[in-house]
Amino acid sequence: MATKLIPKELAKKEDRLAPGHRMCAGCAAPIIVRQILTAIDDPVVITNATGCLEVATSIYPYSSWRVPWMHNAFENSASTASGVEAAYRSLVRQGKIEERNVRFIAFGGDGGTYDIGIQALSGAVERGHQFLYVCYDNGAYMNTGIQRSSATPFGAATTTSPAGKAVPGKQQFRKDLTAIMAAHNIPYVAQGAPSQWRDLMQKARKAVNCGGAAFMNVLASCNRGWRHKTEETIELTQLAVDTCYWPLYEVENGAWRLTYRPKERRPVEEWLKRQGRFRHLFRPENRHLIDELQADIDRRWESLLKLCGEA
């Protein structure tokens, strides 16, 4: 019987990601990993693309992982997960090992997922491997110096899209990777946020039990790259949800469903002003960029409502 998703019961479970890792104070990535792994009662095998999560949890000779875990190159976490999953099922079919309902999970940041790893991810889910890929999306290549990625929000300042007189931050809108994965027609796709922990954990359970490939895109605040205080992580991820910059929904066997609808939508300006990477947008000459970002969010939100049958 699955553990009830209530704090009293979840607190009894051992963390599969041990404390003492080297992730930055306030980083959302280990919070997300702990929530997802705590939600799953079955044995798990983890593959992990190069990035903040990998580097800071496996500094030789130490490891924070209390489950089988493999480090991969930036581009091939999904390939490794599909290979391990295929090998396990082959050994079960041959009668060489007992079937134990093992769950296979790949973790990667947006750099290793939206950009460098998308070919491996697309191929693995198209082949129908039964595993869950989790992207912890912090909106840039944070591990290597806060360079822009295709997940970086419009207008954000990074080291490769600096805010100056000629170019006021990133000039392109964020790639909608969750919709791209839904277009693969796999059994389960979802967006989540650590601030809505029960929603995230329920989605993790659905994902590993969907009978095929699954993908979850989870917003992961990075106080170093977003330029906010360490204690504001959960508050800022929730603000992203309430402004509809990061809506929470799932696509289950082709059916789109909104899993959280803000009682009152808040303007994206409230989210932007809390982060140093958007500070330049509040100069008089750049205020129009906030309006452009708000218009893009409004358009995407209305499109999502139609897909979910809630327009």
pLDDT tens for the chain, 311 residues long, are: 789 999 999 999 999 999 999 999 999 999 999 999 999 999 999 999 999 999 999 999 999 999 999 999 999 999 999 999 999 999 999 999 999 999 999 999 999 999 999 999 999 999 999 999 999 999 999 999 999 999 999 999 999 999 998 899 999 999 999 999 999 999 999 999 999 999 999 999 999 999 999 999 999 999 999 999 999 999 999 999 999 999 999 999 999 999 999 999 999 999 999 999 999 999 999 999 999 999 999 999 999 999 999 98
Torsion of CA 242, 244, 245, 251, to 10 degrees: 120
pLDDT value for 243:
98
| Contact between residue 21 and residue 185 where contact means Cβ atoms under 8 Å apart | no
In this predicted structure, what is the pLDDT of residue 1?
A: 78
5 in a structural domain: no
Secondary structure of residue 77 in the 3-state scheme: helix
89 in any annotated domain: yes
At residue 11, what is the residue type? A
Alpha-helical segments (H) within the chain: 7-10, 29-39, 52-57, 77-93, 118-126, 177-182, 197-208, 223-226, 233-242, 268-272, 287-307
- What is the pLDDT, as a whole number, of residue 126? 98
End-to-end CA distance of the chain: 38
| Structural domain harbouring 165 | 12-307
Give the pLDDT of residue 311: 80
User: Is residue 138 one of the residues assigned to a domain?
Assistant: yes
Element (H, E) at 37: helix 29-39
Torsion, Cα of 33, 38, 44, 46 (10° steps): 10
Q: Give, as one character, the DSSP assignment of residue 308.
A: T
Q: Which pair of tokens denotes residue 185?
A: 């027609």
CA angle 294, 297, 302 (to 5 degrees): 125
**Has residue 1 been placed in a domain?**
no
Is residue 272 a part of any domain in this protein?
Answer: yes
Domain CATH number, residue 275: 3.40.50.970
Residues 52 and 22 sit within 8 Å (Cβ to Cβ):
no
Residue 252 lies in a domain: yes
Q: For residue 180, give the nearest of 191, 194, 196 by alpha carbon.
A: 191
Instruction: Tally the domains of the chain.
Output: 1
Residue 4 belongs to a domain: no
Query: Is 301 part of any domain?
Result: yes
Q: Provide the Cα torsion 7, 42, 103, 151; round to 10°.
A: 10
